[in-house]
Structure 1
Amino acid sequence: MPNFPPFTLTPPPPAAAPPGEKLPLAAVALGLLALLVATADADASRARLSLGLALVLLSGGALAWAWLAFGRTEAGWHPHDLWRRASTSRGAVAWVTGIAFTGFYVVLYWFPWLLENLIRALDPFSQNLRHRAADQWFLYGTFYTLAVLVLGGRALWKYRFSRYHLARTASVMFFQLGISFLLPGLLLALQQPEYYFNYFWPLKYDYLFPGTVAQLLHGGGLGVFMVFWGVVMSFLATPVLTYFYGKRWYCAWVCGCGGLAETAGDAYRHLADKSRAAWRWEVRLVYPILGLIVLLTALLWVGASGAVPALGVVTGPLGQFYGFAIGSVFSGVVGVGFYPLLGSRVWCRFGCPMAAYLGLLQKHFSRFRISTNGGQCISCGNCSNVCEMGIDVKQYAQRGEPIVRAACVGCGLCATACPRGVLNLENGPHEGRLAASAFIHADSLRIL
């Protein structure tokens, strides 16, 4: 009898690489090597040269690769074979990248002395901007801002066909560079409190703590304005803006966490878990975290009033727990370190109290929705694949149901990726926002 080979499915071909990508990738590799040299060199002058070379090579290599991948092709939406690349499909490269990111955050938070040479290399820059020596957080802010700017350039190449995404990317780049990095440094140079005007309670939870408020109020007129700004933005402007535009005005246009997710994390957005189990964990985690910070803030104010002096025994450990478990481990180590494995919005989806606060407003009191035209949906799944918040958009589109989800950050990629124009981001009237679009049932069709 003839010996037939066993039946097997042919594996998909490897993802096509942009022609000429070896040179920019070599530049990135050399940049990482130069960064390691700067980290190990105790001589500040040599470390400064190595760090400068590293940043030039890393930035130039990343931008050159982005141009090769997106700049030379026809403008428009392309899947870019993300599920066939080891770097974006939880392959070996993704695991190495995730371990490197996680390791950096662990060192930054708990072993900053290992970064001392890099920190000292940034002293001249810090002195010019802030009139003080660099520290671990200035190093982190520099790296963070550079990542948003460089990979924001990548996003501008990739989404150059969409005015919405160009404006959104430019917005997060502006807020990160101007409001989150340069402005706080200039405030320090002017002997004023360091303040981040694009972060509010409950995300920047300590801004409304009694101790922080008292410190700002003693800083003069600018400190009083900072307290006023924090209160107004948290309790007045945020609900009003969310009513008109949904949470996208902040999460997709202003927030630094969202800015990093939309730029550095863009290549990992498809990794968000779309399962119902993931949604249950989302609800179990993000709303209790919001409740915890509300409780902590209230307890601190009650304690500061002197009504219950014994509250200090509770608020101290509770504040330390929140700062360590949520502020450090969740938002940094897991939130960014796990980009290549769990997607770019792990923190925003499961841990961010600001996202939970905005999500409740968006779901129940906002005009924002994503409308769907079910009669046009071809079930390609592009919309679900690009949703970084783990929403199975296709299930809504197939039924013609509007998407009014607390998790949605309004990034608009689902509408961009749809080949049929089924999805549309709307700020319509609140009345009727849950109504489905007209759907043509199969029984209504007559085949001639």
Structure 2
Amino acid sequence: MPSSPAADSLSLTQPPLTDISLAEKSTLAVIGGGFLALLVAASDADAWRARLSLYAALTLISGGTLAWAWYKFGRKPAGVQQDNLWLRGSTSRGALAWVTAVVLTGFYVLLYWYSSPDDKGNFGLLNGLVHTLDPSSQALRQRPADQWFLYGTFYTLAILLMGGRALWKYRQSPYQLIRTGSVMFFQLAFAFLLPGLLLFFQQPEFYFTYFWPLKYDYLFPGTIDYLVKDGQALGVFMVFWGAVMSFLATPVLTYFYGKRWYCSWVCGCGGLAETAGDPYRQLSDKSRAAWRWEVRIIYPVLGLIILVTAAMWLNQVLHGALLGAAADGLYRFYGFFIGAVFSGVVGVGFYPIMGSRVWCRFGCPMAAYLGLLQKHFSRFRITTNGGQCISCGNCSNVCEMGIDVKQYAQRGEPIIRASCVGCGMCSTACPRGVLNLENGPRDGRYQSSTLIHADSLRILS
């Protein structure tokens, strides 16, 4: 039976899939053994054996992942490799991708709604895993582990291990190396260790790298009252820090560097997307319809959290006389649908199906806030040189925010989009050096490189 023209075209443009070597199979088997040991740790009733299984699991998963990353990327020439992305089931919404999505989504469902502790300290279906981390939690926080310490441990480990993979994969780019190192550092030091140490010293748990409106309750009256109770200087500083970072530092830093200073260098959500979500970045929808849905959803979410914050403060000022329980109900509504369902279950669970920045692109109020500043007030842009573009499409393929970068590059137009997180992957993937991340003056920010070149020639003549 003769092959179709589409199949012939595909065979001419895509290199054939190669068999996985024995060495790579071995590293993947080690990782698989680690996940099996994790299941044993979750189900074993004996505390000592469960902890031993957990330590074995973390050792196997960590060692196997780093060994696989070195074997997969460290032995090859440096550079972005995009071969066969759309032929592998794991990276093209195939069966393996759907299985991964179901597992991730299931874990988040268990975490958010089936792991709340009872009066005996039982954490439901995750109870075995939670209590295996009791010694670590006691050492860091002076208290037993809970479901959020389990989640923070797994979250941080994912960023560190997949960050190691990214360091091997993008080692030819100093920008990517520093950026990846930055998200790994901020997650480990500021989002995991520092909050635990604050609890160790009997201080309020606080995340210095999360600000309103992403960490929406940090400017709520109840949270502020909790932080400044008894006039603690550290609590007062935390409130001051949150307010300054939200309303002063964020506009200033975004003016100079765009939203990349936060979304691609500091934020834990972005850190997970850039490391653990890197294999799925090509899955982001580049269609105009997807962009319309992005605008329809993300800005109403920003408006909603502004409304919720205003309602909470109004209720506080009026001592509940006007809104009563309605303010608390509005807060719970936002926390459930946006804080849990959207940012957690959908935002991470749908990585293998919709790409790694689903939450950042469609739901994050911080991304919406930063995006408005970036589009209308920032010096940041990605400049393009249309004369050098060969229309290979590498730039569009790696854009996790759904921007069809190639269309801008072909016309030599600067990329000034509210959604762009400045990850720089389009520039890293470009074989011709067409794309450049710049923080130039605002004059001429929207001019194409062709017009700028023409203006330069006119001035010279």
Same fold, TM-score > 0.5, yes or no:
yes
* Amino acid aligned to 2:381: R
In structure 1, stretches of 5+ residues that fail to align are 442-448
The 3-state SS of whatever aligns with 1:148 is helix
**Which residue is 1:91 aligned to?**
94
1:103 and 1:275 mapped to 2: Cα distance? 29
* Amino acid aligned to 2:96: V
**Which residue is 1:16 aligned to?**
18
**Which residue is 1:197 aligned to?**
208
Q: Is 1:106 paired with 2:104?
A: no
Q: 1:167 aligns with which of 174, 178, 197?
A: 178
The 3-state SS of whatever aligns with 1:31 is helix
Cα distance change, pair 17–388 in 1 and its aligned pair in 2 (3 A): farther
2:346 and 2:198 mapped to 1: Cα distance? 31
Quick check: 1:98–1:339 contact (8 Å CA) kept in 2? Answer: yes
- Matches of residues 254-273 of structure 1 in structure 2 within 5 Å? 254-273=266-285
Q: 2:393 aligns with which of 375, 381, 384?
A: 381
1:26 and 1:293 mapped to 2: Cα distance? 45
Q: 1:42 deviation in Å?
A: 1.5
- Matches of residues 40-439 of structure 1 in structure 2 within 5 Å? 40-112=43-115, 113-218=124-229, 220-306=232-318, 309-438=321-450
* Amino acid aligned to 1:129: L
Q: 1:122 deviation in Å?
A: 0.3
2:20 and 2:371 mapped to 1: Cα distance? 39
Q: 1:375 deviation in Å?
A: 1.1
Q: 1:180 deviation in Å?
A: 0.1
2:274 and 2:27 mapped to 1: Cα distance? 22
Quick check: 1:14–1:85 contact (8 Å CA) kept in 2? Answer: no
1:368 and 1:98 mapped to 2: Cα distance? 34
Q: 1:308 deviation in Å?
A: 6.2
Moved more, 152-161 or 72-81: 72-81
The 3-state SS of whatever aligns with 1:215 is helix
Moved more, 13-22 or 355-364: 13-22
The 3-state SS of whatever aligns with 2:381 is strand
Quick check: 2:294–2:362 contact (8 Å CA) kept in 1? Answer: yes
How many residues of Structure 1 are paired with residues of Structure 2 in the alignment? 437
The 3-state SS of whatever aligns with 1:38 is helix
1:307 and 1:95 mapped to 2: Cα distance? 49
Cα distance change, pair 382–388 in 1 and its aligned pair in 2 (3 A): same
1:17 and 1:145 mapped to 2: Cα distance? 32
The 3-state SS of whatever aligns with 2:45 is coil
2:66 and 2:16 mapped to 1: Cα distance? 23
Moved segments of 4+, more than 2 Å? 5-19
What's the % identity of the aligned pairs? 71
Cα distance change, pair 225–347 in 1 and its aligned pair in 2 (3 A): same
Quick check: 1:14–1:84 contact (8 Å CA) kept in 2? Answer: no
Q: Is 1:36 paired with 2:48?
A: no
* Amino acid aligned to 1:81: N
Q: 1:314 deviation in Å?
A: 2.1
The 3-state SS of whatever aligns with 2:348 is coil
1:248 and 1:127 mapped to 2: Cα distance? 36
**Which residue is 1:445 aligned to?**
none
Moved more, 274-283 or 72-81: 72-81
Q: 1:7 deviation in Å?
A: 4.3
Moved more, 57-66 or 151-160: 57-66
Moved more, 84-93 or 302-311: 302-311
2:37 and 2:350 mapped to 1: Cα distance? 24
1:307 and 1:45 mapped to 2: Cα distance? 51
Q: 1:6 aligns with which of 2, 7, 12?
A: 2
1:303 and 1:199 mapped to 2: Cα distance? 25
2:316 and 2:188 mapped to 1: Cα distance? 36
Q: 1:80 deviation in Å?
A: 3.9
2:19 and 2:228 mapped to 1: Cα distance? 56
Quick check: 1:269–1:387 contact (8 Å CA) kept in 2? Answer: yes
CA offsets, 1:25-55, max 9 Å, x none?
A: 1011111111111111121111101111111
Q: 1:18 deviation in Å?
A: 5.3
Quick check: 2:312–2:328 contact (8 Å CA) kept in 1? Answer: no
Q: 1:315 deviation in Å?
A: 1.1
Q: 1:59 deviation in Å?
A: 1.1
Q: 1:309 deviation in Å?
A: 1.6
Quick check: 2:79–2:429 contact (8 Å CA) kept in 1? Answer: no
